[in-house]
Chains A and B, each alone.
Chain A
Amino acid sequence: MGEAIIQVRNLHKSYGDLEVLRGIDLTANRHDVISLIGASGSGKSTFLRCLNLLEIPTKGEIFVQGRRMPLSNPENGPAKVTSERELREIRAQLGMVFQQFNLWNHMTVLENVIEAPIRVSRKSKAEAIAHAQELLDRVGLSAKADVYPSQLSGGQQQRVAIARTLAMDPSVILFDEPTSALDPEMVGEVLAVIRDLAGEGRTMIVVTHEMGFAREVSTEVVFLDQGRVGERGAPEQLFGDPQTASCKQFLKKVL
C-alpha cells in the first residue's frame, strides 16, 4: 500500500431528482492507474468531474494528498465551495485531460503549455519555456510549438493537452475519455503517451472505453453501474472473471 493521493468517500451527485452518483468510494495510491469503465450514463465522467469540483457533488468528501476539498457540509443546504483559494491550490495538483482537448485556440501550442505555470505557479517565462519544450518533445510535438491548435490533428491536440497538464507537475492526472473524440487512426498515438506516463509511475484516473488499454495499463479497474461501483478489481480478474451479472453483460457488449 502506497501513500493515498486521492480518497473519495461516499460521493453523491444529483441533478434535481436524477441521482447520477449514489455513494462512490475510491482510493488512488501513488503510482496507481485506475480505469473507470461502464455504460454511458453510468456516471463515469460525472464522477471524474466531481473530483476537481467542475461539478459540485451533492454529498461526500474528497481528499487530495490529505487535504480536504473545500466543500461545505451538505447537511446545511446544498454543498458549496467554501474557499476559492484552497480549491485553486488543490486543482493545480489535479491535472485534467478532456475528451474535447479544450486547448486555448487563441494561443500557440507553446503558449498553451506555459500559460498556467507562469500565471498559477509563478514560474519565470524562461523556466516555463524550457520545461514546455521538454514536454512537447516528450509527446513528439516539439516541431509544432509555434502553431495554433486549429492547425493540428485531434491526436496532436490531445497530446498537447497532455503536455499542458504535465507542465503543472500534478500529483494525479484525471483523463476524461481522452480518445473518444478522436478518429480511429489517432487513438494509438494518444494511448501511447498515456501508457508511457503509466510506465513512469504517474498516478492517474482514466475514464475510458478502450478496454484493451484499461486491461493493459491499469492497476485497478472500477466498473460503474447506475451511479454505484458495480464491481472493482485487478484488470485480469475483472476482465477475466467478472462476478456480477451487470459487469458480465457490459463486457460482453463492448469486448
Chain B
Amino acid sequence: MGYQDIKYAVSDAVCLLAQDTTPASFAKYCPRYIDGILVTVELLLLSSFIGFFIGALVAVGRVSGGPSVRSLAWAWSYVFRGTPLLVQLWIVYFGLGSLGEEQLGVLWPFFKSGWAVGLAVLTINTSAYIAEILRGGLATLPPGQYEAAVSCGMSRGQAMRRILLPQAIRVAWPAYGNELILLMKGSALVSTITVMDLMGQTRSVFARGYAMETYAYSAVLYLLLALFLTLLLKMVERRLRVGGYP
C-alpha cells in the first residue's frame, strides 16, 4: 500500500463518518476538505522538520561562525523574516518560474510544481524564524555550560550538539510552538500558487456553488488542526521537561 492509498483510505474513513454527522453542504465536499488538510499537514511536517535543521545550522553559524558565516546567517534571518511570505512565494513561483523551461533546464520540474516551490519557501521561511528562536535560546545559557564541556576535552561541535543545543531547544520550545502555529496559518498562502491545500480546496469548493458556509468550514478545520498541533507540542514539551526546563 503506497502513500497515496493511505491518503485515500483516511479520506474515505473520515468522510464515511462525516456522512450523517455533519451538514450536507460539508458532507458533499468532504473528500476535498480532507485532501486539502492532508496536503497542508504534509507541507507543515516536512517544512518544519527540514526547517528545524536548517534553522539550527543558521543559529549555530550566527553564534559561533567566523565573520563571513555570521553575516550570512544574519542576512538569512533578516531577509526571510523581513519580507512577506506571499511575496517570497510569488517571487519564486511566478518570478523565477517565468524564466521557463528553456532557461531553467533541469530545475524546471521544481519551478513548475507549486507544491515543491511551496514546500521550499515554507521551509526557508520557517528556518529563518527557528534560527532566531534558537539563537535566543543559546543566548540565555550561562557561558559555564560551554566552558565545562570544552574543559573536559570536547570539541566545539560536540559541545554545541550535546550540551548547548539540547538546552537551547528546551528554553526555546514555547516560542517554537508559536512559530509552528504561525507557519500553519501562513501555509494557506500556498493556495495562491496553485497548491490544493486546505485553503486551495476551500476556494475551489466555494467556486462551485458560492455556499456561504464554505469558508467557515475551512476555519473550523484550521482551528482543529491548531488544536492538534498544540496538543502535539505539549506532549513533546512534557518529554523535554527535565531538570527544571521550562
| Cβ-based interface call for A149 (8 A) | yes
Cα A95 to Cα B244 in complex, Å, equals: 27
Q: Is A106 engaged at the interface, CB distance under 8 Å to the other chain?
A: yes
Given the complex, which residues of B lie within 8 Å of A223, measured CB to CB?
A: none
Which B residues touch A107, using CB under 8 A? Answer: 243
Residues of A within 8 A of B162 (CB): 115, 119
- 1/0 contact trace for A148-183 toward B, CB 8 Å? 111100000000010011001000000000000000
Q: How far is the CA of A168 from the CA of B242 in the complex (A)?
A: 25
Q: Is A27 close to B, CB under 8 A?
A: no
- Distance, CA A107 to CA B244, complexed state (A): 11
CB neighbors of A among B151-189 (8 A): 151-156, 158, 162-163, 166-167, 170
Contact with A along B128-146 (1 / 0, CB 8 A): 0000000000000010110
Contact B245 A120, beta carbon cutoff 8 Å = no
Q: What 0/1 readout, one digit per residue, does chain A (211-229) give for beta carbons within 8 Å of chain B?
A: 0000000000000000000
Asked if A47 is at the interface (CB within 8 A of a chain B CB), the reply is no
A18 to B173, CA, bound (A): 41
Q: How many whole Å from A86's CB to the nearest CB in chain B?
A: 11
Please name all residues of chain B whose beta carbon is closer than 8 Å to the beta carbon of A35 when the two chains form the complex: none
Q: At the interface, yes or no: A104 with Cβ under 8 Å from chain B?
A: yes
Assess whether B147 is interfacial by the CB under 8 Å rule: yes
**Do A116 and B154 have beta carbons less than 8 Å apart?**
yes
List of A residues within 8 angstroms of B158 by Cβ: 119-120
- Is the CB–CB distance between A84 and B155 below 8 Å? yes
Asked whether any CB of chain B lies closer than 8 Å to the CB of A94, the reply is yes
> Is the CB of A105 closer than 8 A to any CB of chain B?
yes
User: Smallest Cβ distance from A97 to chain B, in angstroms?
Assistant: 9
Check A102 against B148 for contact (C-beta < 8 Å).
yes
The answer on a CB contact under 8 Å between B163 and A104 is yes
Q: Cβ of B87 < 8 Å from any Cβ of A?
A: no
**B144 neighbours in A (Cβ, 8 Å):** 98, 100-102
Contact A168 B152 (CB under 8 A): yes
How far is B244's CA from A148's CA once the two chains are assembled, in angstroms?
A: 8
Shortest distance from the beta carbon of B65 to any chain A beta carbon, whole Å: 15
Q: Which residues of A contact B149 (CB under 8 A)?
A: 104, 116
Residue pair A148, B147 in contact (C-beta under 8 Å): no
Least Cβ distance of B137 to chain A in Å?
Answer: 12
- How near does chain B come to A46, taking the closest CB pair, in angstroms? 14
A106 touches B152 (CB 8 A): no
Q: Are A102 and B153 in contact (CB under 8 A)?
A: no
- Given known A98-B144, A104-B163, A148-B242, contact A91–B155 (CB-CB < 8 A): no
Is the C-beta of A138 less than 8 angstroms from some C-beta in chain B? no
Contact of B243 among A95, A96, A116, A148 (CB under 8 A): A148
Question: Given contacts A102-B145, A104-B145, A119-B158, are A149 and B243 in contact (CB under 8 A)?
Answer: yes
Interface centre among B152, B156, B162, B242, by most A CB within 10 Å?
A: B152
Chain B residues 96-151 with CB under 8 Å of chain A are 142, 144-145, 147-151
Decide if A92 is an interface residue (CB 8 Å cutoff): yes
| Structural contact, A119 and B151, CB atoms closer than 8 A | no
A9 is an interface residue with CB less than 8 A from chain B: no
Which residue, of A106, A108, A121, A150, has the highest number of chain B Cβ atoms within 10 A? A106
* Minimal Cβ-Cβ distance residue in A for B169: A106
Q: Are B145 and A91 in contact (CB under 8 A)?
A: no
Contact call B152/A102, Cβ cutoff below 8 A: no
* B151–A94 CB distance below 8 A: yes
Contact B151 A52 (CB under 8 A): yes
A101 to B145, CA, bound (A): 9
User: Beyond A104-B163, A148-B244, A149-B243, is A98–B148 a contact (Cβ under 8 Å)?
Assistant: yes
Q: Apart from A106-B242, A116-B154, what are 12 other A-B pairs with CB-CB below 8 Å?
A: A54-B147, A84-B155, A96-B148, A100-B142, A102-B147, A104-B145, A104-B148, A105-B243, A119-B154, A119-B162, A161-B148, A164-B148
The 25 sampled A-B contact pairs (Cβ below 8 Å) are A54-B150, A88-B153, A91-B151, A92-B152, A95-B151, A96-B151, A98-B144, A101-B144, A102-B142, A102-B144, A102-B145, A102-B148, A105-B243, A105-B245, A106-B243, A108-B242, A116-B149, A119-B158, A120-B152, A120-B153, A120-B154, A121-B153, A148-B242, A148-B243, A161-B148
The 5 closest A-B pairs by CB, nearest first: A92-B153, A148-B243, A116-B152, A102-B144, A150-B244
Q: Using a CB–CB distance below 8 Å, which chain A residues touch chain B?
A: 52, 54, 84, 88-89, 91-92, 94-96, 98, 100-108, 115-116, 119-121, 148-151, 161, 164-165, 168
